[in-house]
């Protein structure tokens, strides 16, 4: 058991994994959901469904798992997070603001001219997003390259990547599925946000991925299947992934598109449409009232 | 009229020059890493792979993933060179566009087997549109050197330049034309000063221009090597425009979007009122055959260049 002094020291060092308890993660995730919806309403466009399905995973990464340093965001020894499904970036911006890496006031500039927070992540304007994504299927290759480069230079930072399920229809994803195990990238941990929704319909109908986990197992990844909204399951999966000595990890996180907002949940039509003012008010009521999906 | 041979024992394919250069630079630049997609024997990255196996990544026949991985490697401070045939790697344009171009990744893309010059293997293996697509990416430097010395200098330049570079190389041997010190990125090389007529080559066609000049006898054209297609040497082209009534561009590439297009943009913007002839592949696909016969059939062998100059210049 760790001493009280050790715990205090850990809390003081903002660079170490925050390891916040579940209740805290849940609070932060709810605040991020509010920020996501408010910034989308203000922008008048964007992708709420996949931002809300991914948010619990991203919050867990930044507030429980990853080494990150708000006072020096590009700190060399940080863990990396690459949002391969770039359209979910409101979720990432909300978390970066909560982690005090970008100012909260900046969220209102989403999708506006001269903003660092572009409609899809731009690593030149905002380096902490690590990769410019939005053209699906590329982020995982980039994440692999970073993981490989870190290993080659004897760095122990980990690389986390989040893909959409529909995104894995891209051929490039399967090229990386083949190569990451070859290079024994146990420092690469990839989530699939499996909300079964994409623009033209349900993933099962647009282009069936099943059996998704079995496919990645066959490609020699360490595969886990979890509920992507259950913090203890997300944390448990990350703990297991950390113990891999050779294999890269693939975590299929079953999620709900639009999670937390009654009228958005499991609705394909909320993939890429922003809420208007009235819809935002209703959504905020759901979030403050603890709507149970 | 007959084409005198300029080939010498020092003739070398620029892919060989690349393989030697990257191997020889590896100790001086420990951050260089090399990726290939199952063509290392052909691209000559195998020379590096044998000498530095820990810094070489065999990615298999999967060029998109190779390019994306190279981008990620560069984000950790390494200097990745990713190699394949120009046709295959430039064909992964969407990955290059976002993961390398838009991302300002310090990635060097090496495309060998440029143009009709590969000969027998035919069109699918020929990089004939690669300059066009790479030129369209903001910040991408596009290099197409013409001999051993300038290729080696180009590899050194690509290593030290921070930002994306496309390096286009030949399968076929080319004669030695330059000194290493002749290469400066973005600065064309004047091989022969002339008047009224200029022959501009890039890569393999620079030697064709030299041979054409010999065929033309006392015509005395400018001979210019534009090894950097982007950024194009505006100043040199303006100098040629002031001196010439006829400018002929030659390239083993589609004339759409290649050297001829790049030169024509400058000439038009400068208000030049001379005659421009763009020799190269005339917006068609290639085919199998002996390289010299193909250069002749498609109209940019030394002989064909000379004939074109004669026929056009009489009407000026």
Q: Does A134 touch chain B (CB under 8 A)?
A: yes
Report whether pLDDT(A2) > 70: no
Residue A245 corresponds to which tokens in the numbers above?
A: 């000595």
pLDDT band, very low/low/confident/very high, at A289 (cuts 50, 70, 90): confident
From chain B, pick out residues whose CB is under 8 angstroms from the CB of A134.
98
Q: Does the beta-carbon distance from B78 to A152 stay under 8 Å?
A: yes
From chain B, pick out residues whose CB is under 8 angstroms from the CB of A120.
none
Q: Domain of A246: which CATH number?
A: 3.40.50.970
Residues above pLDDT 70, as percent of chain B? 97
In-domain check, residue A1: no
CA angle B181, B182, B188 (to 5 degrees): 150
Q: Does the beta-carbon distance from B72 to A175 stay under 8 Å?
A: no
Of all residues in chain A, the one with the smallest CA distance to B32 is: A149
Kindly report, residue by residue over B97-119, the tens digit of the pLDDT.
999 999 999 999 999 999 999 99
Domain ranges in chain B with CATH number 3.40.50.920: 186-313
**CA torsion angle A12 A15 A19 A23 (round to 10):** 80
Kindly report, residue by residue over A62-114, the tens digit of the pLDDT.
999 999 999 999 999 999 999 999 999 999 999 999 999 999 999 999 999 99
List the alpha helices (DSSP H) in chain A: 4-12, 22-43, 48-60, 89-98, 139-152, 171-182, 203-207, 212-218, 231-242, 277-288
DSSP percent split of chain B into helix, strand, coil, nearest 5 = 40, 20, 35
Chain B: nearest CA to A239, how far in angstroms?
A: 25
Q: Does the beta-carbon distance from A145 to B72 stay under 8 Å?
A: yes
Q: Does the beta-carbon distance from B104 to A176 stay under 8 Å?
A: no
Chain B: nearest CA to A290, how far in angstroms?
A: 40
Say how far residue B80 (Cα) sits from the centre of its chain: 20
Nearest to B71 among A142, A179, A183 (CB): A142
Q: Does A146 touch chain B (CB under 8 A)?
A: yes
Closest by alpha carbon to B170, among B10, B39, B16, B48?
Answer: B16
- CA A173/CA A136 separation, integer angstroms: 9
Report whether pLDDT(B94) > 50: yes
Q: Is A237 helix (H, G, I), strand (E, B) or coil?
A: helix
Report whether pLDDT(A12) > 60: no
Residue B63 bears catalytic tag: yes
- CA B180/CA B148 separation, integer angstroms: 8
List the alpha helices (DSSP H) in B61-165: 63-74, 86-90, 93-95, 130-135, 148-160
Nearest to B65 among A124, A134, A179 (CB): A179
Of all residues in chain B, the one with the smallest CA distance to A183 is: B57
Q: Does A127 touch chain B (CB under 8 A)?
A: no
DSSP percent split of chain A into helix, strand, coil, nearest 5 = 50, 10, 40
From chain B, pick out residues whose CB is under 8 angstroms from the CB of A148.
57, 69, 72-73
Chain B: nearest CA to A195, how far in angstroms?
A: 25
Closest by alpha carbon to B221, among B233, B231, B206?
Answer: B206
Chain A: nearest CA to B89, how far in angstroms?
A: 14
Closest by alpha carbon to B61, among A147, A222, A174, A250?
Answer: A174
Average pLDDT of the residues of chain A = 94
CA angle A62, A67, A71 (to 5 degrees): 90
**Which class for A253: exposed (0-12), middle (13-18), buried (19 or more C-beta within 10 A)?**
buried
Nearest to A142 among B33, B55, B68 (CB): B68
Rounded mean pLDDT of A199-207? 96
Whether the CB-CB separation of A268 and A202 falls below 8 Å is answered with yes
From chain A, pick out residues whose CB is under 8 angstroms from the CB of B69.
141-142, 144-145, 148, 176, 179
From chain B, pick out residues whose CB is under 8 angstroms from the CB of A145.
68-76, 80
Kindly report, residue by residue over B137-190, the tens digit of the pLDDT.
999 999 999 999 999 999 999 999 999 999 999 999 999 999 999 999 999 999
Kindly report, residue by residue over A259-268, the tens digit of the pLDDT.
999 999 999 9
How many other C-beta atoms can be found within 10 angstroms of the C-beta atom of residue A81?
26
pLDDT for B251 = 98
Chain B: nearest CA to A98, how far in angstroms?
A: 25
Residue B140 corresponds to which tokens in the numbers above?
A: 């991408």
Q: CA-based diameter of chain B, in Å?
A: 61
- CA B98/CA B162 separation, integer angstroms: 17
Rounded mean pLDDT of A217-226? 98
Q: Find the chain B residues whose C-beta atoms sit closer than 8 A to any C-beta of A.
A: 33, 54-55, 57, 59-60, 62, 64-65, 67-78, 80, 94-95, 97-99, 102-104
From chain A, pick out residues whose CB is under 8 angstroms from the CB of B94.
135
Q: CA-based diameter of chain A, in Å?
A: 55
DSSP result, A139-188:
HHHHHHHHHHHHHHTT----EEEEEETGGGGSHHHHHHHHHHHHTT-TTE
Q: Does A178 touch chain B (CB under 8 A)?
A: yes
Given the structure tokens 């209102």, which residue do they identify?
A108
User: What is the reported pTM?
Assistant: 0.95
Report whether pLDDT(B5) > 60: no
CATH 3.90.1300.10 fits B12-174, yes or no: no
pLDDT band, very low/low/confident/very high, at A7 (cuts 50, 70, 90): very low
Kindly report, residue by residue over A141-150, the tens digit of the pLDDT.
999 999 999 9
**Which class for A91: exposed (0-12), middle (13-18), buried (19 or more C-beta within 10 A)?**
buried
Rounded mean pLDDT of A117-133? 98
pLDDT for B3 = 47
CATH architecture of B186-313: 3-Layer(aba) Sandwich (3.40)
How many other C-beta atoms can be found within 10 angstroms of the C-beta atom of residue A160?
27
β-strands B228-230, B189-192: how paired?
Answer: unpaired
Q: Does the beta-carbon distance from B95 to A148 stay under 8 Å?
A: no
CB within 8 Å of B40: residues ≥ 6 apart:
B46, B49, B56, B58, B83
Marked catalytic residue, from B63, B129, B208, B251: B63
Kindly report, residue by residue over A18-32, the tens digit of the pLDDT.
899 999 999 999 999
Greater model confidence, A5 or B23: B23
Closest by alpha carbon to A250, among A290, A195, A167, A193?
Answer: A193
User: How long is chain A?
Assistant: 293
Report how many domains make up chain A.
Answer: 1
Nearest to A132 among B69, B78, B103 (CB): B103
Whether the CB-CB separation of A278 and A270 falls below 8 Å is answered with no
From chain B, pick out residues whose CB is under 8 angstroms from the CB of A149.
33, 72-78
Whether the CB-CB separation of B183 and B154 falls below 8 Å is answered with yes
pLDDT for A5 = 46
pLDDT for B9 = 56
pLDDT band, very low/low/confident/very high, at B8 (cuts 50, 70, 90): low
In-domain check, residue A293: no
In-domain check, residue A220: yes
Whether the CB-CB separation of A141 and A171 falls below 8 Å is answered with no
Domain range for residue A218? Answer: 15-288
Closest by alpha carbon to A47, among A114, A93, A104, A101?
Answer: A93
């Amino acid at each position: 058991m760790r001493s009280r002094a050790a715990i205090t020291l850990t809390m003081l060092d903002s660079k170490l994994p925050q390891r916040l308890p579940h209740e805290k993660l849940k609070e932060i995730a709810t605040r991020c959901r509010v920020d996501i919806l408010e910034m989308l309403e203000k922008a008048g466009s964007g992708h709420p469904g996949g931002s809300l399905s991914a948010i619990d995973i991203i919050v867990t990464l930044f507030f429980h798992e990853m080494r990150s340093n708000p006072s020096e965001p590009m700190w060399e020894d940080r863990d990396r997070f690459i949002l391969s499904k770039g359209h979910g970036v409101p979720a990432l911006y909300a978390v970066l603001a909560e982690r005090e890496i970008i100012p909260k006031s900046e969220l209102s500039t989403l999708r506006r001219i001269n903003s660092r927070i572009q409609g899809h992540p731009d690593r030149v304007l905002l380096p902490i997003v690590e990769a410019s994504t939005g053209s699906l299927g590329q982020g995982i290759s980039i994440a692999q390259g970073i993981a490989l480069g870190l290993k080659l230079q004897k760095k122990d930072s980990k690389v986390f990547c989040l893909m959409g399920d529909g995104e894995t229809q891209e051929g490039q994803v399967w090229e990386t599925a083949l190569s990451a195990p070859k290079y024994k990238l146990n420092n690469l941990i990839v989530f699939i946000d499996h909300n079964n929704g994409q623009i033209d319909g349900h993933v099962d109908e647009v282009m069936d991925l099943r059996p998704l986990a079995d496919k990645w197992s066959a490609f020699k990844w360490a595969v886990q299947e979890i509920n992507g909204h259950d913090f203890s399951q997300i944390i448990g999966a990350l703990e297991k992934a950390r113990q891999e000595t050779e294999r890269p990890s693939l975590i299929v996180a079953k999620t709900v598109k639009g999670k937390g907002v009654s009228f958005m949940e499991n609705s394909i039509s909320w993939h890429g449409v922003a809420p208007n003012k009235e819809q935002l008010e209703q959504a905020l009521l759901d979030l403050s009232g603890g709507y149970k999906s | 009229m007959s084409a005198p041979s300029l080939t010498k024992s020092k003739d070398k394919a620029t892919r060989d020059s690349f393989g030697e250069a990257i191997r020889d630079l590896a100790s001086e630049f420990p951050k260089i890493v090399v990726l290939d997609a199952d063509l290392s024997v052909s691209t000559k990255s195998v020379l590096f792979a044998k000498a530095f196996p820990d810094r070489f990544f065999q990615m298999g026949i999967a060029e998109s993933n190779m390019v994306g991985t190279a981008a990620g490697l560069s984000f950790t401070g390494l200097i990745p060179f990713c190699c394949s045939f120009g046709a295959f790697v430039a064909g992964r344009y969407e990955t290059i566009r976002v993961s390398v171009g838009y991302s300002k990744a310090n990635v060097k893309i090496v495309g060998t087997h440029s143009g009709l010059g590969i000969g027998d293997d035919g069109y699918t293996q020929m990089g004939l549109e690669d300059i066009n697509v790479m030129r369209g990416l903001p910040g991408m430097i596009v290099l197409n050197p013409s001999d051993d010395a300038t290729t080696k200098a180009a590899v050194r330049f690509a290593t030290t330049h921070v930002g994306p570079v496309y390096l286009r190389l030949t399968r076929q041997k080319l004669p030695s034309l330059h000194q290493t010190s002749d290469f400066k990125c973005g600065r064309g090389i004047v091989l022969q000063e002339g008047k009224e007529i200029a022959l501009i080559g890039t890569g393999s066609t620079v030697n064709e221009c030299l041979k054409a000049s010999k065929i033309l006898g006392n015509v005395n054209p400018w001979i210019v090597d534009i090894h950097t297609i982007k950024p194009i040497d505006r100043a040199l082209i303006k100098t040629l425009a002031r001196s010439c009534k006829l400018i002929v561009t030659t390239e083993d590439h589609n004339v759409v979007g290649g050297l001829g297009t790049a030169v024509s943009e400058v000439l038009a913007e400068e208000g030049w009122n001379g005659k421009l002839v763009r020799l190269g592949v005339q917006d068609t696909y290639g085919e199998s055959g002996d390289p010299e016969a193909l250069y002749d059939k498609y109209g940019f062998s030394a002989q064909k260049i000379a004939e074109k100059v004669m026929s056009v210049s009489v009407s000026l």
